[in-house]
Amino acid sequence: MIDDLEELVGCESFSADHAAVAKSAEVVAEVGTRRLGAAPERVTIRGVSHLRWTFGQPRVLLLGHHDTVWPVGTLRDMPWSCRDGVARGPGVFDMKAGLVQLFHALSGLPSLDGVSVLVVGDEELGSPTSQPLIEESARGLSAAFVLEASADGGALKLARKGISRYELLVHGRAAHAGLEPEKGANAGIELAHQIIAITRIAGNVSSSSRPGSLSVTPTLMSAGTSTNTIPALGRVAIDVRVPDVASQQRVDELMRALTPVLDGTRLELLGGPNRPPFDGTASAALFERAVEIAASLGMPPLTGVSVGGASDGNFTAGVGTPTLDGLGALGGGAHAPEEHVLVEHMPVRARLLTELVRSVLA
């Protein structure tokens, strides 16, 4: 398993670099073919490389991604290493160790009939090209197992918030800031008004959900082109996390109801809901099964948590497929220089997945 992990981590796969993702897909295909005894279907959508294995009539989907947040060249500063039971390198925890566990788990089954495996190449970007492929692959199945890294202490992920992503553009009118500022329409000031309005949206929706479970957060913002010019354009990105579909829809309505305050300015809203919420009802029965299997294998008691981050499990749960997430590696430091995996747990988690798949197929 460590050899396979080194092979995957050694091929960088920054999500925005389609050539790197395509090269990574070939390496993942080689590792998967060795372990599963069959080559994958290669699916390229708008330049992004995805892989799918299908055995018979699928009833169970195993889902992962091979892209990472790390630009090509990171490996020089964050090289692969495996010392004292800890593996390090870009993408080792999120989520190349999960892919290794997936392939080894399936290699322990006497038959793969009824199994489908999907490894996508743009999860870190919000799965813009792979979402339809994920939903198509998951719809109508008995279970989807997502190999994203575990939560703290190896906890499985039983629920995830939904995500909406927006960018608000404020169009104004440029003018010389010293000679004739009255002829301009300041997009920067209008942007400030809109940011304040956006921060109030969560309070107008949260009464219908758990307190503190919904957030509407302006993040990246900019306005203007020079210090002596009235800004003609301002923009702000907005990150939205919601606990349920009703909240997601209501936030969308309020975002689209934003209106300009200053004369001469105009608003343009881009984006919308990205991933639907994944609530605990989608995972409850599978988690109960996992707890029983873990106990039968002599593993420490499994725990489960709800998390704010989203994954492709949101899509599988969103089409009504029972979904269990966080079955991947134990470790930490996702998206950070201290990213690492505790390798002693990899075969244990692979065995858990083997038995989970076996039990669903049976």
Q: Which long-range contacts (CB under 8 A, 24 or more apart) does 295-300 make?
A: 296/355, 297/348, 297/351, 297/352, 297/355, 299/348, 299/352, 300/154
**Sign of the CA dihedral running 59, 287, 321, 326:** negative
Catalytic residue (choose from 4, 12, 67, 355): 67
Q: Which are the contacts of 224, defined by CB distance < 8 A and separation ≥ 6? A: 187, 188, 231, 232, 233, 234
Q: Is 113 a catalytic residue?
A: no
* 252: annotated active-site residue: no
Nearest to 248 by CA among 271, 218, 281: 271
**Catalytic annotation, pick one of 122, 123, 148, 355:** 123
Residue 95, preceding bond cis, omega within 30 degrees? yes
- Quote the tokens at residue 120: 């996508």
Rg (C-alpha) for the chain, rounded Å, is 23
Rounded Cα gap, residues 6 and 89, in angstroms: 9
Residue pair 353/146 in contact by the 8 Å Cβ criterion: no
Q: Which two tokens stand for residue 314?
A: 């949101």
Alpha helices in the chain (DSSP H): 2-9, 18-36, 74-77, 97-107, 131-138, 187-199, 201-205, 245-256, 284-296, 313-318, 346-361
Alpha carbon 195 to chain centroid distance? 26
Query: What's the CA gap between 51 and 43, in Å, rounded?
Result: 6
Sheet with 81-83, strands from edge to edge, namely: 81-83, 86-88, 340-342, 331-332
Q: Are 310 and 162 in contact (CB under 8 A)?
A: yes
Active-site residue list: 67, 123
